[in-house]
Amino acid sequence: MHTMWKGAISFGLVNIPVKMYAAAENKDISMRMIHSECGTPIQYTRECATCDEKVDWNEIVKGYEYEPGKFVIFNKDELEALSEADKEIKITDFVDLTDIDPIYFQKTYYLGPAETGANAYSLLLKALMDTGKIGIAKVSIRSKSSLAAIRVIENCIAMETIYYPDEIRPVMQVPSLPQQAEVKEKELQMAKMLIEQLSTSFEPEQYQDEYRQKVLDLIAHKIAGEEVKVAPQAMKTNVIDLMSALQASLETLKPENIPTEKGNPMAKSSDKPVKKTQSRSRAKKTI
């Protein structure tokens, strides 16, 4: 696994060096935006509408729009100075896992022991398993402060980032919620019976992303049937093309029905010495 972050878990006076790894991976099928006319991938560029030019990353800063069209500007150093990125997962409390509603959970990370933290890591792991508790901690990842739950998953310490309370929208904002559920008793009993019949233990292995599999099957079918579009090569601007363009331009300027000297197709006849002299004169001035 790729190490995403290095730091330490701390609780009390205990400090445990750890490395962080992503516990899950996104298996969505990546698709690019394609121009339907020619099959070329669409490119997105960073452009300034005012300057009418492309903008490099080193010219970009962040800004907060406090009024339409008005921004407070921050540079990278200002935001980093405010960051709590002290590489510490500081546990402040221990609670029961059932105390946290699943709506608070964001993303799961595995925490593995660093080279010098194996003993302390095992101590916290065993303590969490024996007590059945999870730790509530504060952590900063990529300049974003977050709450986190420290718990055990299959003999590994894991960290679940969780939302702050003010980040959870109130349920009452959902429109058209019934004030009081009114159902018929017979319908309720039948619903309960159906729930009971479908009740089982959770086995994640039996669930599959059927849509993703259908997309993969369709991709394979299209490739087998050669239903593909090949993006045209970008226009070349090498020396050969430039010479061809210059030669074609000269050909269009050549006077018709004028005999040329052997071996020099661009030489002009001697019946127009004035133009020939003027041409050489202009050439000398240009040089």
* Chain segment 30-88, per-residue pLDDT in tens: 888 988 888 888 888 889 988 889 999 888 989 999 999 899 998 878 877 776 556 88
Encode pLDDT of 196-232 as tens digits: 999 998 888 888 888 888 888 888 888 888 777 777 7
Mean pLDDT of the chain: 81
Q: What is the pLDDT of residue 86?
A: 66
CA distance 5 to 89: 11
Contact 7, 18 (CB under 8 A): yes
Q: What is the pLDDT of residue 287?
A: 34
CA distance 103 to 200: 23
CA distance 51 to 224: 48
CA distance 149 to 94: 9
Positive or negative torsion for Cα 141, 146, 150, 153: negative
Terminal-to-terminal C-alpha distance of the chain:
64
Residue 54 tokens, joined: 């492309």
Strand partners, 91: 137
Which has the higher per-residue pLDDT, 82 or 132? Answer: 132
Q: What is the pLDDT of residue 269?
A: 44
Nearest Cα residue to 121 out of 21, 5, 15, 13: 15
Q: What is the pLDDT of residue 124?
A: 93
Position 280 confidence tier, pLDDT thresholds 50, 70, 90: very low
Specify the CATH class of 5-25+84-166 in words.
mainly beta
Label residue 165 left, alpha or beta by phi (over 0 means left) and psi (-120 to 50 means alpha). Answer: alpha
Residue type, 86: D
Encode pLDDT of 77-125 as tens digits: 887 777 655 688 999 999 999 999 999 999 999 999 998 888 999 999 9
Residue 36 tokens, joined: 């339907």
Position 241 confidence tier, pLDDT thresholds 50, 70, 90: low
CA distance 236 to 22: 43
Above pLDDT 70, what percent of the chain? 79
Q: What is the pLDDT of residue 264?
A: 47
Positive or negative torsion for Cα 65, 71, 77, 78: negative
**pLDDT beyond 50 at 277:** no
Q: What is the pLDDT of residue 226?
A: 75
Alpha helices by DSSP H, listed for the chain, are: 76-82, 118-131, 185-198, 210-224, 239-253, 273-286
Comparing 79-93, 177-191, 229-243, the range with the smallest average pLDDT is 229-243
Q: Hey, where are the domains in the chain?
A: 5-25+84-166, 49-81
Q: What is the pLDDT of residue 284?
A: 40
**pLDDT beyond 80 at 146:** yes
Q: What is the pLDDT of residue 236?
A: 52
Residue 152 tokens, joined: 């055990």
3-class secondary structure per residue, 37-93: CCCCECCCCCEECCCCEECCHHHCCEEEEEECCEEEEECHHHHHHHCCCCCEEEEEE
